[in-house]
């Protein structure tokens, strides 16, 4: 996309020229609540898994790599007002359509302290006030 834009003297770093802009416009019409937003943020309904909103380069047939979306967070006026956010960790399963990321497919990659399989769900995290610093 960037090379095509440069050849045509178009700035690829504007909102209008961002490759996924069409997705943003279409999905925006379908988002009515936080549950809709959760589904959209981890969606990858493109035939090419590196193009969607939640790319998964590890699933590419040609030249797979450890690259792509790794987590999402949602904060709204309501969640902030009520001291919480929504978050999910790990590459997207695209709402169950794609397999969870599995380190056993990458035996030569360092991943100490991480679970073997990344198949997490959205979690609600409460924001707490930090403890006051000690006066030493």
pLDDT of the residue at 76: 92
pLDDT of the residue at 2: 44
pLDDT of the residue at 3: 44
Question: In angstroms, rounded to a whole number, what is the distance separating the alpha carbons of residues 53 and 46?
Answer: 9
What pTM value is reported for the model? 0.73
Taking 3-state DSSP, the helix, strand and coil percentages for the chain, each rounded to the nearest 5, stand at 25, 15, 60
Residue 66 in tokens: 């450890």
Question: In angstroms, rounded to a whole number, what is the distance separating the alpha carbons of residues 60 and 86?
Answer: 29
Q: What is the mean pLDDT for each group of 10 consecutive residues in the chain (136 residues)?
A: 50 66 76 90 68 81 87 92 93 87 92 90 87 63
Question: In angstroms, rounded to a whole number, what is the distance separating the alpha carbons of residues 8 and 124?
Answer: 45
pLDDT of the residue at 51: 63
């Amino acid at each position: 996309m960037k090379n095509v834009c440069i050849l045509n003297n178009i700035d690829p770093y504007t909102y209008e020229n961002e490759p996924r802009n069409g997705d943003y416009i279409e999905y925006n019409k379908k988002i009515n609540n936080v549950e809709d937003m959760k589904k959209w943020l981890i969606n990858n309904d493109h035939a090419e898994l590196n193009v969607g909103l939640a790319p998964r380069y590890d699933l590419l047939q040609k030249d797979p790599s450890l690259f792509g979306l790794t987590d999402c967070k949602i904060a709204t006026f309501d969640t902030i007002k009520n001291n919480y956010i929504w978050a999910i960790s790990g590459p997207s399963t695209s709402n169950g359509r794609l397999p969870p990321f599995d380190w056993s497919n990458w035996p030569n990659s360092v991943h100490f302290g991480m679970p073997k399989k990344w198949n997490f769900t959205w979690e609600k995290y409460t924001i707490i006030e930090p403890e006051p610093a000690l006066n030493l």
